[in-house]
A = this chain, B = another copy of it.
Amino acid sequence: MRILFLGDVVGRSGRDALVAALPGLRAALRVELVVVNAENASHGFGLSPEMARAILGAGADVITLGNHAWDRKEIIPALEQEPRILRPLNFPPGTPGRGATVVAVPGNRKALVVNVMGRLFMDPLDDPFRSVQAEIQRHRLGAGGTIQASVIDLHAEASSEKQAFGHSFDGLVSLVVGTHTHVPTADHQILPGGTAYQTDAGMCGDYDSVIGMQKGGAALRFWRKMPGERLAPAEGEATLCGLFVETDDATGLARRVEPVRQGGRLSQVLPQP
């Protein structure tokens, strides 16, 4: 299965670039499953239902979120009705929405997508390791199984937690990819057990910024410790950041993992089709 994952979409710059480029990327890379983290789509804070529709309309199969999941309250009913938008799995029972979904993929295949949040330097949600372990045990990966691929978006701060997670599920899922730091890492690899891994996908946003927000105000917060003006997203051209993974439908494990960076300031890289 040919999978494209794109990291945190930030503000109008990120949204516009994503919606403009996704159809072309889908075609050029012959992608069969697209997952996009969009927790910062709405002015840097949350996701509105209309933006969700635009992103799905442009070719995303599943949208994931993170700690900003609840910033736009209007998304809550959408989380209940639209199975293609995920909030992190490890919120307590009773939380609106869902953290995992199985989507149909051309060729009579299915893929599991999970969104889960780390805990190091973050809110103490339920254990992400046990939560994902329980979720994947509900499925059987590979030819003749219930799913042919599985993608875990681990929304987390600390590289140690992300790498520990990757190794913990190595051989059990197709891809573990981090989000939340808004910086793409250059450590994409296939782990020894066959799982594709990258510590952070990076953001889809303007990289002349502080994690996608206007650099002046954001930097000032580190100099002055008084709260300042509300931050606004940077408006320069976005770099779409993420990765491309090709899996073996027989095993559900990865054959290739390659970075994707298109547009904007960062060095450009696209997989060979």
Binding site secondary structure of chain A: loop
The answer on a CB contact under 8 Å between A202 and B227 is no
Q: Which residues of A (214-255) have their CB < 8 Å from a CB of B? A: 215-216, 218-219, 221-227, 241
The answer on a CB contact under 8 Å between A91 and B225 is yes
Chain B hits for A227, CB < 8 A = 70
Chain B hits for A126, CB < 8 A = 126-127
Question: Can you tell how many copies of this chain the complex includes?
Answer: 4
CA distance A159 to B125 in the complex (A): 19
CB distance from A64 to the nearest CB of B (A): 17
Complex interface: stretch among A15-23, A28-36, A203-211: A203-211
Q: Judge whether A270 is part of the interface by a CB distance below 8 angstroms.
A: no
What is the chain B residue whose CB lies nearest that of A169? B219
The answer on a CB contact under 8 Å between B187 and A219 is no
Q: Judge whether A61 is part of the interface by a CB distance below 8 angstroms.
A: no
**Residue in B70, B222, B224 whose CB lies within 8 Å of A94:** B224
CA distance A187 to B181 in the complex (A): 12
In this complex, how many residues of chain A approach chain B with their Cβ under 8 Å: the count is: 63
Per-position 1/0 for A66-98, Cβ under 8 A of B:
000110000000000000000000011011100
The answer on a CB contact under 8 Å between A164 and B267 is no
The answer on a CB contact under 8 Å between A163 and B95 is no
The answer on a CB contact under 8 Å between A168 and B94 is no
Q: Judge whether A265 is part of the interface by a CB distance below 8 angstroms.
A: yes
Q: Which residues of A contact B (CB under 8 A)?
A: 69-70, 91-92, 94-96, 119-121, 123-127, 129-130, 157-161, 163-165, 167-168, 181-189, 191-192, 199-200, 202, 207-211, 215-216, 218-219, 221-227, 241, 259, 261, 265-267
User: A167-B215, A167-B219, A189-B266 are known contacts; what are 10 more A-B pairs with Cβ within 8 Å?
Assistant: A119-B124, A129-B223, A159-B182, A160-B218, A163-B218, A167-B216, A168-B222, A186-B241, A186-B261, A189-B265
